[in-house]
Copies of this chain bind each other. A is one copy, B any other.
């Protein structure tokens, strides 16, 4: 098969229609250029140029081959540049996992930030629960995940990304709506929509601890995994709920949000997690950006 250097030789001659000038342009002398063209023609099994000491012109085969040769050279150059950019982290793909609730709050801002700082990078967003994100990171399907804190994370690095205060979601006809803010004690013995211990163990445990420390026992009418389902139940008047403040972005007609008066350590943490052995150069740039 021919080589790219031969294509460059041919393109130069085909455009100059003069071996001497083409050789000059290629920083070589004419004889080896002639030879390269001959080798290319032998390889193609077709003459590309009709030449004598007076003129050089393309054959029909040469006319067909010229644009192909140029295209191949252009693609090769593009491939080189594109690969370099990907390696430098200036281009490529960043696959971000997020839990449904985390997305409401910080994702839009994050997207704007990433797009501004790394314009060549494509971002793929995938909504996944925490455990699925950990698996996806392990199998290389995700580059970075946004999850609620969990314990066993040996192989990954993580850091706290943000903390959210809790807000109370109340049915519109709940008398508590008259107050500007809610105390945990206000919820004692009142109907309450709780996070389920399996699908949302972090929030389940967080609220469980909050209630226990305050010696409050709400009347748990439902246990639900997803925030939008909880809000739907609140909207239907089943009771109140406690959610991270980002959930207030979800608007339901019969749901009112009121801030929860609680010590500042009763916040919902959102962690960022990634594989330090990732080969994706974009990840590194993302981490320095954050």
- Is B60 touching A281 in the complex (CB atoms < 8 A)? yes
A100 to chain B, nearest CB (A): 28
A61 B83 Cβ-Cβ under 8 A? yes
**Contact A80:B279 (CB < 8 A) given known A46-B87, A60-B92, A72-B72:** no
A50 at the interface (CB under 8 A from B): yes
A69 within 8 A of partner (CB): yes
Residues from chain B with a CB closer than 8 A to the CB of A61 are 83-84, 86-87, 281
Contact A46 B4 (CB under 8 A): no
Q: Does A178 contact B (CB under 8 A)?
A: no
A60 contacts B72, C-beta separation under 8 Å: no
- Decide if A180 is an interface residue (CB 8 Å cutoff): no
Complex alpha-carbon distance, A279 and B62, angstroms? 10
A75→B71 contact, CB < 8 A = yes
Given known A-B contacts A2-B76, A80-B2, A86 and B71 have beta carbons under 8 A apart: no
**Chain A interface extent, by class:** 35 or more
A59 contacts the other chain (CB 8 A): yes
Q: Which chain B residues border A45 with CB–CB below 8 Å?
A: 84, 87
If over half of A's interface residues share one DSSP class (helix, strand or loop), that class is named, otherwise mixed; here it is: helix
- Chain B residues with Cβ below 8 Å from A4 are 1-4
Q: Which of B64, B280, B281 contacts A83 (CB 8 A)?
A: B64
In the bound complex, how far is the Cα of B67 from the Cα of A82, in angstroms? 12
Please state if A60 and B279 are interface contacts (CB–CB under 8 Å). Answer: yes
Nearest B residue to A83 by beta-carbon distance? Answer: B65
How distant is the Cα of A250 from the Cα of B249 in the complex, in angstroms? Answer: 77
A50 to chain B: which residues have CB within 8 Å? 279
Q: How far is the CB of A138 from chain B (nearest CB, A)?
A: 15
* A87-B47 in contact (CB<8A): yes
A205 within 8 A of B: no
Q: Could you mark each residue 265-288 of chain A with 1 if its beta carbon is under 8 Å from any beta carbon of chain B, else 0?
A: 000000000000001111000000
Could you give 7 example pairs across A and B, Cβ below 8 Å?
Answer: A3-B5, A46-B88, A60-B86, A60-B280, A65-B83, A68-B75, A72-B75
What 4 pairs across the A-B complex have the smallest Cβ distances? A46-B87, A68-B79, A61-B87, A65-B83
